[in-house]
Chains A and B, each alone.
Chain A
Amino acid sequence: MNTPPSRAVTPQVPFTVLGGYLGAGKTTLLNRLLHDNKGRRIALLINDFGAINIDAQLIESRTDQQINLTNGCVCCGLSDGFDEAIAQLLTSPTPPEHIVVEASGVADVHSLAQYGNTPGLTLDAVVVVADALNIRQKATDKYVANTVKRQLAAADLLLLNKVDLVSTSQRSDLRQWLQTLCNGAPIIDTTFCALPEALLLGDGTRPNRSDSAKDAAHPQNHPLNHGEAYVTWHYQSSDRLTQLQIDQFLQDLPNTVLRGKGFFNTSKGLLEWHQVGKQQRLTPAEPRQELGTTLVAIGLKPQLNPVELDTLASQHL
């Protein structure tokens, strides 16, 4: 068979779709990301009609179709379509390290996420923001009920935003009701969409990046915890695992694991693990001598209990 040239040499840029109905808090979240990008070049593709307000002092230059920020981030319009905008970003002299799509309030986020599987990109996650005050009403609205329910069902991670505006009992009712609609995606309570960047976009050191072997081999040196609201779990071993062991481990993983990544060492080579909320992916990885099984998982404190994961690992791995 005539196989296409290997694309493994090109780094795969993580691709995140950020959805949710009008007013849920997407813009707040994006502003946070762009303001505090931790040195990462983020490209924001704007699929919405509401312009996002960016501090004038953060703007380096702008054209009709692109705003360049002083911190290396860019915001792009989509007037020539997604494939064109993505192609331009990937061929630019400074390609982005992460692409985030701000989906319109009525977008089919599951369908948009498929661009994340096109060449040069890797789908990171579909993150959906719901407004705790009105999500129930929107889910029965004459016009948007189906659209909103479709978005919830497509979420890998669901942010239940504005939880400060509802009572504790309302909140737990809401969470229970949402749980079925979002097919078991983890639901994270937020206020003003405050969420550690590492949870939203990952920590930016993907295991298949050329410089990451070292990081992954020494995860304990990785600067993940800064007394933040989340907790990190590490696991390392040189044992060879069977597919059954891996499947059982992943199946039993609690949904307090918001993000997971790493490699499983099997007799057929390494399998790369990528997980964000309910999205779980195992793909064959290029051989790397020094690596055995190396796993990193993160979740919120105190929901994620590393001891629980240690037990799980010792049971299955």
Chain B
Amino acid sequence: MNRIKIYVARAVITMNPSNPQTTHVAVRDGLILGAGSLAELAPWGDYELDTTFENHVIVPGFVEAHAHVMEGATALMPYLGYFDRPLPDGSIAKGIKSYDELTQRLRELDAALDASGAAPNEPLIARGFDPIYFDDQPRLTLTLLDEVSTTRPIYLYHASGHLATANSAMLDLDGVSKDTQVEGVGRFTSDQASGKLKGDLNGELREPPAMSLCKTGNRAVFLANASEPALWNFGASARNAGITTCTDLAGGLVLSPRSKDMWQRVTGDDSFPLRVAMYNIAAMPGLNADFDDAAQKVLELRAEETDKLRFPGVKFILDGSIQGWTAMIKAPGYISGEDHGQLLTVPDQLIDWLRPFHKAGLNVHMHCNGSLTQDLAIETVEALLQEHAWLDHRHTITHAQLTTQAQLRKMARIGLCANFFANHLWYWGDQHYEHTVGPERANQLEPCASALRERVPFALHSDAGVTPLGQLHTMWCAVNRVTPKGRMLGKLEALTPEQALRAVTIDAAFVLHLDDEIGSIEAGKAADFAILEDNPLTVDPMSIRDIRVWGTVLGGQPHPAARPATGA
């Protein structure tokens, strides 16, 4: 047994309702012995008083119940998104707000490749661009990218994952020509000042069949997503944000066990600063789509669990996204009348697919962005419960963005949890208000306060890499519900800072069936802390996202956040 360490802090916020706030926490062998005053902890015996955090605020390590290791891959390529984005090294990639900034940044990247001695035709592949923020301007085409370079192939993989824009050199490299007949290969619809004619390629590639034509760009993105450096970055970004447990909510270990070694090796490294709760995708269409077998495989993975690699359940994806008009939403539908609602499971089969996991005691998280697929998820779980009673299943509807009041009432009665995509309020709130679902439903997006009232347990998430990891930012969204254009979306659905903190700590642990081990600071739980430079419960709520994170303590080990070299 190691010596007891007692941390003293400006405040220890525990998320234990019986002992909500105190000043000290005692830790031994990675476990919390207790939280209280020094006098209350002294009876544990000989201790070392650690004053590193005496001016900081200790909260439970944040738990992110919907993120993807893909977040770690965003930093492996230049980032060209609209919003500032924190990087694993602690620096911030500045958001690109105009086409001038875009071309300037691309020129810098091009010059940096030249300076590094890369061949003049070495591709430049970047990600994060999203045309939805440039909808008041002409669509981005290859004309702008060709101004940057006519020799270096350039490929912009967009934030949505459904679009890319390539320059002429990239199209040439992969043999995409005017004769290519694949739908989704963008063309100019009129003659251009740049000399391009109506029908010439405009560089945009929409949806996977067209995107697959640009093999060079597509393959680079695909390989980065599943790489070991991406996993290390994922750990670093989580630590920088105070997260100690993070899901990989579309894990691939059931489908491709060949990467199991990598996951075990990296998470098993003492310096890897994160517990990962992996929810595997159970099956893909194809020869080995066998759900009984997949449930068995998850149980086998579970038998090899470690403290830092857990397998609480599986993930199912039921539909697309609201801003892509591919979420399946109930009447009266999208305000534009446009509806590309996409079902990603066969409704009549869903119950058969879920049954083996439900019966094996494996928690199921179902991606529903739209309210219609959410009905399907609710009906299906109710039917499963009639077949096989599992009172504490905690199956969760993840995203659940357009959850109606009736759905909340029903969910409460059958034990379904929600995991709200609170970051949407900020990143796409204006688009939802103006273009997708309109004011009334935009104001009820992520109905957190209603979920509290109706007693539906819920977490809040970032869906990183869709938006950046950062539970303080996610809390800030749920508390303030503001948009970049200055709207406040539905103040009646706003949470208090304390309610929001619950949803990113103990309640997030609850939807992962891990709340007896992590998510609060109380005797017997893992010594996982987020170390903050200010108190999220007392600062001006609009500053919650600006609170600096010192780093984390994970199982009693301190992991300071990376600081940019300039010490910004």
Contacts and interface: CB of A to CB of B under 8 A. Distances in A.
Chain B associates with chain A: yes
Interface of A: 2-5, 7, 22-23, 46-51, 62, 64-67, 75-79, 81-83, 104-106, 108, 110-112, 114-115, 117-119, 141-144, 146-147
Contacts, number: 115
Contacts of B172: 2, 4
Contact of B288 (A64, A82, A144, A146): A64
Given A79-B256, A114-B207, A117-B180, A66 B287 contact: yes
30 contacts: A3-B177, A4-B176, A22-B346, A22-B349, A46-B285, A46-B287, A49-B353, A51-B289, A51-B290, A62-B287, A65-B288, A76-B286, A77-B286, A77-B289, A79-B288, A82-B208, A105-B349, A106-B343, A110-B183, A111-B209, A112-B209, A114-B184, A115-B209, A117-B181, A117-B182, A141-B347, A143-B328, A143-B376, A147-B341, A147-B342
Nearest to A281: B181
Interface string B193-211: 0000000000000011110
Interface string B161-182: 0000000000010011100111
A118 B288 contact: no
Contacts of B218: 83
Interface residues on B, range: 35 or more
B177 A51 contact: no
Given A4-B177, A75-B287, A106-B345, A142 B372 contact: yes
Contact of B255 (A22, A79, A108): A79
A118 B328 CA distance: 29
A119 B175 contact: yes
Nearest to B211: A83
A66 B287 CA distance: 7
B148 interface: no
Interface in B312-358: 328, 339, 341-349, 353
Instruction: For the complex of A and B, list the 5 residue pairs with the smallest distance between their C-beta atoms, beginning with the closest.
Output: A77-B286, A4-B175, A114-B209, A83-B212, A77-B287
Contacts of B376: 143
A79 B254 CA distance: 11
A49 B283 contact: yes
Given A77-B289, A117-B182, A119-B175, 9 more contacts: A4-B172, A49-B353, A51-B290, A65-B288, A76-B287, A83-B208, A111-B207, A117-B209, A118-B182
B284 interface: yes
A143 B255 CA distance: 28
Contacts of B283: 49
Given A111-B207, A147-B343, A79 B372 contact: no
B328 A78 contact: no
Contacts of B285: 46-49, 77-78, 104
Given A79-B256, A83-B215, A106-B343, A114 B353 contact: no
A64 B283 CA distance: 13
Contacts of A141: 347
B140 interface: no
A125 to B, nearest CB: 15
Interface of B: 172, 175-177, 180-184, 207-210, 212-213, 215, 218, 255-256, 283-290, 328, 339, 341-349, 353, 372-373, 375-376
B320 to A, nearest CB: 10
Nearest to A85: B286
Contacts of B372: 142-143
Contacts of B180: 117
A65 B286 contact: yes
Q: Which of B183, B255, B283, B346 has the most CB of A within 10 A?
A: B346
A119 B256 CA distance: 28
A23 B346 CA distance: 11
A185 to B, nearest CB: 18
B289 A49 contact: yes
A15 B534 CA distance: 61
B287 A67 contact: yes
Nearest to B333: A146
Contact of A64 (B209, B287, B345): B287
A30 to B, nearest CB: 13
Nearest to B289: A49
B347 A82 contact: no
Contacts of A142: 372, 375
A273 to B, nearest CB: 16
A144 B344 CA distance: 11
A219 B175 CA distance: 36
Contacts of B175: 4-5, 7, 119
Contacts of A146: 339, 341
Nearest to A63: B287
B177 A144 contact: no
B46 to A, nearest CB: 55
B550 to A, nearest CB: 42
A150 to B, nearest CB: 9
Nearest to B285: A47
B286 A79 contact: yes
A120 to B, nearest CB: 11
A118 B182 CA distance: 6
B20 to A, nearest CB: 44
A81 B286 CA distance: 10
Contacts of A111: 183, 207, 209
A9 B460 CA distance: 55
A64 B286 CA distance: 10
A77 B284 contact: yes
Given A2-B172, A106-B344, A147-B343, A77 B181 contact: no
Contacts of B290: 51
Contacts of A119: 175, 213
Contacts of B348: 22-23, 105
Q: Which of A23, A77, A79 has the most CB of B within 10 A?
A: A79
A159 to B, nearest CB: 19
Q: Which of B181, B285, B344, B348 has the most CB of A within 10 A?
A: B285
A221 B339 CA distance: 51
Contacts of A5: 175
B75 to A, nearest CB: 24
